[in-house]
Structure 1
Amino acid sequence: MSHLDEDVIRVVSWNIEHNGVERDGSDHRWHLAMDVLASLRPHILLRQELTRADLYGRRIVWAEAARLGGLVPFLADATPESANPTGVYINRDLLEPTEFFEHATGMWHPICNPVVRLKGVPTKLSLASFHLCSFDPDRRLNEARRLTTLGKPGMAAIIGGDCNSYAHTQSEAVSLPDWSEVEDRSHFEHRTVEWCGERVSDTRPDHVLAGAHHGWPPVFVELGQYAATRLSQAGALAPTASLWRKDQGPMQRIDRIYATPQVAEALTSLEVIVSDDIREASDHCPVVATFRLTALRRALAPATQTAA
Structure 2
Amino acid sequence: MSESEDDVFRVVSWNVEHNGISREGGDERWHLAMDVLTTLKPHVLLRQELTRADTFGRRAVWAEATRLGRLIPFLASATPESANPTGVYTDPSVCEPTEYYEHTTKMWHPICNPVVRVKGASSKLHLASFHLCSFNPAQRKSEAKRLTVLGKPGMASIIGGDCNSYPHTTDETVALPDWSTVADRSHFEQRTIERDGRRVSDTVPDEILAGTHDGYPPLFVDLGHYAGTALGQPEGLAATSSLWRTDQGPKQRIDRIYATPQIALALTQLEVIVTDDVIEASDHPPVVATFSLSKLRRALSAPRAAAA
TM-score w.r.t. the length of structure 2 is 0.97
Q: Which residue of 2 aligns with 1:225?
A: 225
Q: Which residue of 1 aligns with 2:202?
A: 202
Aligned-partner SS, 2:228: helix
Q: Distance in 2 between matches of 1:55 and 1:3?
A: 41
5+ residue gaps in structure 1? Answer: none
Q: Distance in 2 between matches of 1:195 and 1:174?
A: 21
Q: Which residue of 1 aligns with 2:81?
A: 81
Q: Which residue of 1 aligns with 2:33?
A: 33
Which range moved further: 234-243 or 171-180? Answer: 171-180
Asked if 1:10 corresponds to 2:26, the answer is no
Q: Distance in 2 between matches of 1:174 and 1:21?
A: 30
Aligned-partner SS, 2:100: strand
Map 1:115-134 to 2 at 5 A: 115-134=115-134
Answer whether contact 1:81 1:107 (CA < 8 A) is retained.
no
Q: Distance in 2 between matches of 1:2 and 1:277?
A: 27
Q: Distance in 2 between matches of 1:59 and 1:39?
A: 23
Q: Distance in 1 between matches of 2:176 and 2:304?
A: 42
Q: Which residue of 2 aligns with 1:61?
A: 61
| AA aligned opposite 1:7 | D
Q: CA RMSD in A?
A: 1.6
Asked if 1:270 corresponds to 2:276, the answer is no
Which range moved further: 59-68 or 211-220? Answer: 211-220
Q: Which residue of 2 aligns with 1:288?
A: 288
Q: Distance in 1 between matches of 2:184 and 2:305?
A: 53
Cα 1:3/1:106, change in 2 over 3 Å: farther
Aligned-partner SS, 2:247: coil
Which range moved further: 180-189 or 298-307? Answer: 298-307
Q: Which residue of 2 aligns with 1:52?
A: 52
Answer whether contact 1:79 1:107 (CA < 8 A) is retained.
no
Q: How many residues are matched?
A: 308
Q: Distance in 2 between matches of 1:52 and 1:126?
A: 25
Map 1:34-183 to 2 at 5 A: 34-106=34-106, 108-172=108-172, 175-183=175-183
Q: Deviations over 1:10-67 (max 9, x none)?
A: 0000000000000110000000000000000000000000000000000000000000
Answer whether contact 1:240 1:251 (CA < 8 A) is retained.
yes
| AA aligned opposite 2:39 | S
5+ residue gaps in structure 2? Answer: none
Answer whether contact 2:173 2:238 (CA < 8 A) is retained.
no
Aligned-partner SS, 1:158: strand
Answer whether contact 1:105 1:142 (CA < 8 A) is retained.
no
Q: Distance in 1 between matches of 2:245 and 2:105?
A: 28
Aligned-partner SS, 1:236: helix
TM-score w.r.t. the length of structure 1 is 0.97
Alpha-carbon deviation of 1:171?
1.5
Map 1:176-195 to 2 at 5 A: 176-195=176-195
Answer whether contact 2:96 2:119 (CA < 8 A) is retained.
yes
Cα 1:182/1:146, change in 2 over 3 Å: same
Alpha-carbon deviation of 1:303?
2.9
Answer whether contact 2:20 2:30 (CA < 8 A) is retained.
yes
Answer whether contact 1:150 1:157 (CA < 8 A) is retained.
yes
